[in-house]
Structure 1
Amino acid sequence: MSKSTLEMSRQEWLEDRKKGIGGSDVGTILGLNKWKSPYQLWLEKTGQVVIEESENEPAYWGNILEEVVAKEFQERTGKKVRRRNQVFEHTLHPFLRANIDRDVVGENAILECKTANQFLGKEWEGEEVPLSYLCQVQHYMNVLNKDYCYIAVLIGGQRFIWKRIERDQELIDTITEQLVEFWETNVLGGIEPIIDGSQATADFLKEKYADVEDVQTTLPIHFDELVEQKNELKRTKKEIESAIRQVDNEIISELGKREASIGITQRNIISWKLVRTRRMNTKKLAEKYPDIANDEEIYSITESRRLTEKEIK
């Protein structure tokens, strides 16, 4: 089953995304998206927050260059591809959706077009494909019942790679099980996903509850256990940081004895670089230019909340 997206406005398209799980949601639900957590996606799917409409720069250029990547794939492979302006739905689970980039003519296959930062090139070396993309195209093959998928990527605007990815039914089954669980239990069932430790969740919660009132409330007893767990983790963190500093100190000591800033081993290049930073000395500024230092217009005030714990004696 499928429906056309040609006549959809931007707002209609965003609203329609709430009605199912698309390819871009797969990595998030599986915990592979460092920019968005399952908790944040759950809030979007249940209509508790507004889906962000603005595109960031990489996403914008990814959309613009999709046609370029598709054409280059045709040039390099001799294959023909066609655009499908439709949202496809899984036959057994209609909430599982796919909005593919291209169909491959004459083959039971699809083409997924990507762009990547030049610093992410290692993720595409050899047979490697970023795990989130691998899961995304396996999801597409499941929804459309395809045998394989081609994925083409333009890296850093100057390096083109394409690969063929075979259908992996075992992986598809694992992915589908988690997607169905998320939709039926969390979205339809209204059960909040477990709060995870991702930076995406932390940033979202800080923004969502930035304006809470400064009032006191009584928390359940298990939050004492959470505080103790946090304290234990902080103690472990200090031990790990101390162990890392010890290794650093041994390396710096040896480099210093050899009067060198770069050391070469069989497997590593170790450098102790001089880093210069430039900061304003506000004390000196106030002494030399008191009028400027006291001018409130040159200061920007930011507010944030800090979580602290103090044992009740």
Structure 2
Amino acid sequence: MSINSTATDSPPLVFPSGAVVVLAPDADQDDWHAIRKTGLGGSDLPAICGLNRWTSPLEIWFRKTGKDIPRRDDAVLSEAAENGHDLEPFVASRFTKKTGLPALDHPGTLRRTDLPWALVNLDRVTFENGEPGVVELKTRSSYALADWLDEIPVDVQVQMQWQMAVTGWSFGYSAALIGGQRTIVHRLDRDEQMIEHLLAIAGEFWGWVQDGTQPPVDGSHATGQLLDRLHANPDTVSVIADADTVEPLLRQRATAKEQIAAGEIALLDAENQLKAIAGDAVEVHIRGEKAYSWPRYSRQGHIDFAELAEDWPDIDLESYRGEPTTYRTLRIHLENL
């Protein structure tokens, strides 16, 4: 399946997977929300895999089955999402400036004909050596810098591999605007093994949607927050539960609290000893590999001293300038020994 590209100097888009455009990019929001309920998109997959701290598999299941979910009342998250949408054109332009590759408008909502529940909406499309690829645009706070320095975070990798699964394309790029000041670009190749796993996970999940089987409650914060919202207004004083179900869970909770306390002590002990070994070095290598690093970062206050000097020429700027806040963060590179 192919459609005409929005750029006159780019080849037409071809989808080796047999995907088709089922909704135009400028479609009405109601139509967009309606079609999202007919399948699983790229943003659904990290949540289904337990990689989204804000959305759980249970919440995705509620949405896809048309059940009412109380809205998350979080003004900060809402504004962050709105800002991310508004900044997309800017991040796309930074991607092009850094790579020299185009960032073309997406073709609309795509659906695989052989797997009708496999949907995707791309942020942008690029061409590299005449071949099309996906472009995923992100905006993140400065606290996420370490997560993006070396590679694409796992949840975004899952999202991009799903995009490649639906389009049939062989590569993609991510461009993340960090703290509004730094754009980090990574390239990602198609991973057939991961795509096979994602299709299996998504297929099982969509089966639950179709037959009304609710996913099991998991241990994620997102599931806990969903349950808090669903049951925010209790109207019953008590309920009689099965003791054989409740008692093991109470024991599990008590044991977990003990293990957490012991684990925190063991974690701090190991990290402190690793820091002592590193000393003034940034990286520690063993057997020819980088085992861990302890880089130094700095944060400076956001004061416009030039404007301050213009408005208040007699002020002592040095008393306001201060020293930047510096910190070191331990990053493990050999996790599985």
Alignment TM class, shorter chain as reference:
0.7 to 0.9
Give the Å deviation of 1:63: 0.9
> Are 2:70 and 2:230, in contact at CA under 8 Å, matched by a contact in 1?
no
1:267 to 271, 278, 284: 278
Separation in structure 2 between the aligned mates of residue 32 and residue 246 of structure 1, nearest angstrom? 25
Matched, 1:109 2:125: no
Deviates more, 1:80-89 or 1:215-224: 215-224
- Aligned positions of 1:156-175 closer than 5 A: 156-175=179-198
Separation in structure 2 between the aligned mates of residue 51 and residue 97 of structure 1, nearest angstrom? 25
| Aligned residue in 2 for 1:217 | 239
Separation in structure 1 between the aligned mates of residue 186 and residue 213 of structure 2, nearest angstrom? 39
> Are 1:90 and 1:142, in contact at CA under 8 Å, matched by a contact in 2?
no
| Aligned residue in 2 for 1:82 | 104
Partner of 1:217, secondary structure, is coil
CA separation of 1:239/1:157 partners in 2, compared to 1, >3 Å: closer, same or farther? closer
Give the Å deviation of 1:72: 2.1
Give the Å deviation of 1:212: 2.3
Matched, 1:20 2:20: no
CA separation of 1:235/1:120 partners in 2, compared to 1, >3 Å: closer, same or farther? closer
Matched, 1:43 2:62: yes
CA separation of 1:214/1:52 partners in 2, compared to 1, >3 Å: closer, same or farther? closer
Separation in structure 2 between the aligned mates of residue 137 and residue 146 of structure 1, nearest angstrom? 11
| Aligned residue in 1 for 2:333 | none
Give the Å deviation of 1:75: 2.5
Separation in structure 2 between the aligned mates of residue 174 and residue 218 of structure 1, nearest angstrom? 40
| Aligned residue in 1 for 2:27 | 8
> Are 1:69 and 1:154, in contact at CA under 8 Å, matched by a contact in 2?
yes
Give the Å deviation of 1:68: 1.1
CA separation of 1:210/1:73 partners in 2, compared to 1, >3 Å: closer, same or farther? closer
> Are 1:5 and 1:13, in contact at CA under 8 Å, matched by a contact in 2?
no
Q: TM-score, normalised by structure 1?
A: 0.73
Root mean square deviation of aligned Cα = 2.7
Q: TM-score, normalised by structure 2?
A: 0.68
Separation in structure 2 between the aligned mates of residue 72 and residue 233 of structure 1, nearest angstrom? 46
Give identity over the alignment, percent. Answer: 31
Give the Å deviation of 1:140: 0.4
Separation in structure 1 between the aligned mates of residue 26 and residue 186 of structure 2, nearest angstrom? 33
Separation in structure 2 between the aligned mates of residue 6 and residue 147 of structure 1, nearest angstrom? 23
Greater fraction strand:
2
> Are 2:126 and 2:132, in contact at CA under 8 Å, matched by a contact in 1?
yes
Separation in structure 2 between the aligned mates of residue 7 and residue 68 of structure 1, nearest angstrom? 19
- Bigger Rg, which one: 1
Give the counterpart letter for 1:122 in structure 2.
A
Partner of 1:108, secondary structure, is strand
How many aligned positions are there?
253
